[in-house]
Amino acid sequence: MKLDSMYQDVILDHYKNPHGRGLRPGDAEVHHTNPTCGDEITLRVRLDGETIEDVSYEGQGCSISQASASVLNELLVGKDVAEARRIQETFLELMQSKGRIEPDDAMEEVLEDAVAFAGVSKYPARVKCALLSWMAWKDATAQVLSERKTA
């Protein structure tokens, strides 16, 4: 059934048992919303030099948006910023593919659990849900780095 391509077990698992949920100290905090459906996330990023030490978040929203934040936490914490950006860009490319990208081994290696969202890209109304936390992370990280520059 088509629905199963969106609601993969991996996604439902992350939704029911989210990783790293809850707000912890960070270097920058952002609040992003999805105005069409009311999904919200508050997200903090803490960096140690170039390494992402923590991504903490609190929010409300659908299974897709919540699972996506959990996958992000699992995937990005411990990576350095440049690598995390590559992952974020790959995820964005997959989500904007309208279901046309069939993730290959190379993509799977980069995205790990996040490849489970490939099916979501077929549902235009839900792509924004999947991207919410990733856009918030990108924004928060940019804030930390720009504050560092001006400091």
Partner 1 sequence: MTIQLPGLLDTDAIRKDFPILDRLVHDGKKLVYLDNAATSQKPRQVLDVLAEHYERHNANVHRGVHVLAEEATALYEGARDKIAAFVNAPSRDEVIFTKNASESLNLVANMLAWADEPYRVDHDTEIVITEMEHHSNIVPWQLLAQRSGAKLKWFGLTDDGRLDLSNIEEIITEKTKVVSFVLVSNILGTVNPVEAIVRRAQEVGALVVVDASQAAPHMPLDVQALQADFVAFTGHKMCGPDGIGVLWGRQELLEDLPPFLGGGEMIETVSMHSSTYAPAPHKFEAGTPPIAQAVGLGAAVDYLTSIGMENIARHEHAITEYAIQRLQEVPDLRIIGPTTAEDRGAAVSFTLGDIHPHDVGQVLDEQGIAVRVGHHCARPVCLRYGIPATTRASFYLYSTPAEVDALVEGLEYVRNFFG
Binding site for partner 1 (CB under 8 A): 1-3, 6-7, 12, 36-40, 60-66, 123, 126, 129
Q: Nearest distance from residue 28's CB to partner 1, in Å?
A: 24
Between residues 32 and 126, which has the closer beta carbon with respect to partner 1? 126
Whether the CB-CB separation of 130 and 65 falls below 8 Å is answered with yes
Whether the CB-CB separation of 68 and 13 falls below 8 Å is answered with no
Between residues 6 and 30, which has the closer beta carbon with respect to partner 1? 6
Between residues 36 and 150, which has the closer beta carbon with respect to partner 1? 36
Between residues 35 and 49, which has the closer beta carbon with respect to partner 1? 35
Question: Can you tell me whether residue 43 is helix, strand or coil?
Answer: strand
Q: State the DSSP H helix or E strand holding residue 149, giving kind and residue range, or none if neither.
A: helix 124-150
Q: Nearest distance from residue 3's CB to partner 1, in Å?
A: 5
In angstroms, the CA 24 to CA 46 distance is 9
Q: Nearest distance from residue 34's CB to partner 1, in Å?
A: 9
Q: Nearest distance from residue 62's CB to partner 1, in Å?
A: 4
* Long-range contacts, stretch 86-91, CB < 8 angstroms, 24+ apart: 86/110, 87/111, 87/114, 88/134, 88/137, 88/138, 91/117, 91/131, 91/134
Q: Nearest distance from residue 36's CB to partner 1, in Å?
A: 6
Between residues 62 and 107, which has the closer beta carbon with respect to partner 1? 62
